[in-house]
Amino acid sequence: MSFAQVEAAFGSYSSSDPAYSAQLVVYIAGQRVIDLAVGALEPDSLLPVYSSSKGATAVVIALLVERGQLEIEERVARYWPEFAQRGKSSVTVGQMLSHQAGLPGVDGGFGWEDLLDHDALATRLAAQRPFWRPGAGAMYHGLTLGTLADELVRRVDGRPVKDVLREDIAAPRDLDVWLGTPESEDSRVVPALPPTQDELAAAPAPVPDPLATLWAPRGAFIEVFSHINDPVFRRVGQPAAGMLASAQGLAGLYACLRHEANGLPRLLSEDTIGQMSQIQVAGNELGSNLPIRFSVIFQAPTPPRWPFGGVGAFGHDGAGGSLAFCDPIPDIAFGYTVQRMPLPGGMDARALELARLVRHCLRGTR
């Protein structure tokens, strides 16, 4: 197999934009076949990956499913009784973890500081009336999804998402993904960068939909960058957006789901992967009216915005441009990070092109 076309494309992004700083790692059938880094990023640099954190959180959920601790079709309130308040008693784990529960925010809103206090926000979410009847639609729970998943994991396992990720998944496999990044790793951290002022000035205004305001924390857009790079936030390990990772870590995380890693057997059975990657909700998102497809936390391939893979693929992007996924049929695990946020945010168009080229190269050689 030759991935020269992928390497050439990655190189061309760098040639055409001297400030381009990115990492790309690809596994095929459990073997690392591409490992590139350019610009300010070394192969072992760590970057805040925003919502690509959700992919790691989904892997933790999958592990609990694999172990029989958690059932996707079960009601959340069975595990978290307080969640039943205000009409949520019949909401299932699958609904809650696919952005259907109507809890993108809380009455009165929330700020970045609220993300530092898990218990308080979880208590508010348990008491919150859904902003829409659960199941009536779906809208991205950009930050609260992390709190909801975290409380569910704590109730089921006794440990928070970050500890299950580290102790049971990442540390034994030496995976460079960090929820609750310790000081020991700080020297490898490269800050995420906002779009340039010119890009921001040229960007279209967001949809003026009141629902779309719910999931964002209070504060101006640009504040995101002070928080996402803030060591205080970094230490907390918020499971929706608080992860730091390299592309090696991201791709390795998806590769180990179906392949031996560091001498350990694959993490998940095909049955668990099938459950986790089944599309739970599809349609136009409330608030943005754009097409979405979510399985259990994971994004499913969804043209035209998220065409990252084939049937059965699952993964997650980050607002800052990162993309990581597993595509079982050609057996790809893919990790990509980029330092400067591309607009409109979410998976970098260059990452999608690189993923397309990986598939193209595979077809040519098989």
Chain residues binding a copy of itself by CB under 8 A are 73, 86-87, 94, 102, 129-133, 136-137, 207-211, 213-214, 274-275, 278-284, 286, 289, 291, 301, 303, 307, 309-311, 313
Least distance (Å) from a copy of itself to the CB of residue 351? 17
Separation CA 37–CA 24 (nearest Å): 6
Least distance (Å) from a copy of itself to the CB of residue 135? 9
How far lies 11's CA from each of 40, 315, 351, 354, in Å?
Answer: 14, 25, 13, 11
Would you say 204 or 303 has its CB closer to a copy of itself? 303
Would you say 281 or 338 has its CB closer to a copy of itself? 281
Least distance (Å) from a copy of itself to the CB of residue 258? 15
Least distance (Å) from a copy of itself to the CB of residue 304? 9
Residue 103: other Cβ atoms inside 10 A: 28
Would you say 79 or 215 has its CB closer to a copy of itself? 215
Structure tokens at 31: 């073997």
Least distance (Å) from a copy of itself to the CB of residue 356? 10
Structure letter (DSSP) for residue 360:
H
Separation CA 16–CA 341 (nearest Å): 17
Under 8 Å between Cβ of 22 and 13? yes
Separation CA 42–CA 46 (nearest Å): 9
Under 8 Å between Cβ of 308 and 296? no
Q: Is it true that the peptide bond before 48 is cis, omega within 30 degrees of 0?
A: no
Amino acid residing at 114:
D
Least distance (Å) from a copy of itself to the CB of residue 202? 23
Would you say 102 or 237 has its CB closer to a copy of itself? 102
DSSP calls for 209-220: -GGGGSSSPSS-
Bridge-partner residues for 321, per DSSP? none
Amino acid residing at 20:
Y
Structure letter (DSSP) for residue 346:
S
Sign of CA pseudo-dihedral 320, 189, 173, 94:
negative
Least distance (Å) from a copy of itself to the CB of residue 225? 26
Would you say 263 or 303 has its CB closer to a copy of itself? 303
Would you say 192 or 212 has its CB closer to a copy of itself? 212
Would you say 20 or 306 has its CB closer to a copy of itself? 306
Would you say 252 or 301 has its CB closer to a copy of itself? 301
Residue reference for tokens 């059965």: 312
Would you say 133 or 218 has its CB closer to a copy of itself? 133
Burial track 236-263 (b if 16+ CB lie within 10 A, e otherwise): bbbbbbbbbbbbbbbbbbbbbbbbebee
Least distance (Å) from a copy of itself to the CB of residue 168? 25
Least distance (Å) from a copy of itself to the CB of residue 27? 20
